[in-house]
Amino acid sequence: MAPRTPAAERSNAEWLSALALESPERPAAIEELRLILVAGLRSGLLKGRTMRRREFAEQAEDFVQEALVRILAGLDSFRDESRFVTWAHKIAIRVALTELRRKRWSDVSLDTLLVSSEGESIPRALADPSAGPEAAARRAAGLDRVLRYIREDLTDKQRAAMTAAVLRGMPLEEVARRMSMNRNALYKLLHDARKRLKSRMLQDGITPEDILAAF
């Protein structure tokens, strides 16, 4: 029997073959891939200071296990346009960042976001620290008007979605989960809300440039 190719040197075809359901190598290949993904996440998340070492130690295995589930379920979607390990790393990073964003917002309610928006001229998610005084003043005036339209013209659900996703920067996945909606339904809700806001702005004589400056 030919010696097994080291995990780091496997070709794409060898990875796919080893991870196939019927492959006797599958358990070992999964463990090899797990170690590779842990090392990749450690490099990506710690060097980029996205996480602290203690947080990484506590959560890395959860990230990798979720990534492995997605990778194994999506083997048929791998298009051989990059190295298999690179493709797998991208999935693991995406899983980790999505979960970190979710945890960041886990203790923040939509009601809290709505209340904290009242009276704030420029929500932090939309603030531009590089803007000069005049530009900042124009932006603030435009946003104040938009915030009033959001309060007066949108439905409760539209207002909640716009405040969380657009004004506060909550990840769409988390907004959809909080509102018990799927992503497509949330996209439709936000699209309809933007159309309603645009219609109100145009009625009041606000130009497309004003709309772009506000959002």
Which of the listed ranges 34-43, 51-60, 113-122 does the model predict with the highest average pLDDT? Answer: 34-43
Instruction: Report the range of poorest mean pLDDT among 18-27, 36-45, 67-76, 140-149.
Output: 140-149
Q: Find the domain containing 43 and state its range.
A: 10-105
CATH number at residue 125: 1.10.10.10
Q: Could you tell me if residue 5 is inside a domain?
A: no
Instruction: Report the range out of 82-96, 105-119, 144-158 with the highest average pLDDT.
Output: 82-96
Would 60 be classed as within a structural domain?
Answer: yes
Q: How many domains does the chain have?
A: 2
Whether this prediction's pTM lies above 0.75 is answered by no
Same domain assignment for residues 146 and 159: yes
Q: Are residues 66 and 101 in the same domain?
A: yes
Is 145 within the bounds of a domain?
yes
Q: Which spans in the chain are helix H?
A: 12-19, 26-41, 47, 53-73, 84-105, 110-117, 133-153, 156-161, 172-178, 183-203, 208-214
For the stretch 65-111, pLDDT in tens is 999 999 999 999 998 889 999 999 999 998 888 877 777 665 555 55
Q: What is the pLDDT of residue 119?
A: 47
User: For residue 200, is it within any domain?
Assistant: yes
Q: Residues 124-145: what's their mean pLDDT?
A: 59
Q: What span, in angstroms and rounded, lies between the C-alpha atoms of 165 and 117?
A: 13
* Segment 132-141 mean pLDDT: 63
pLDDT given at position 11: 93
* Domain boundary pick from 65, 90, 105: 105
pLDDT in tens, 170-180: 878 888 888 99
49 pLDDT above the threshold of 60: yes
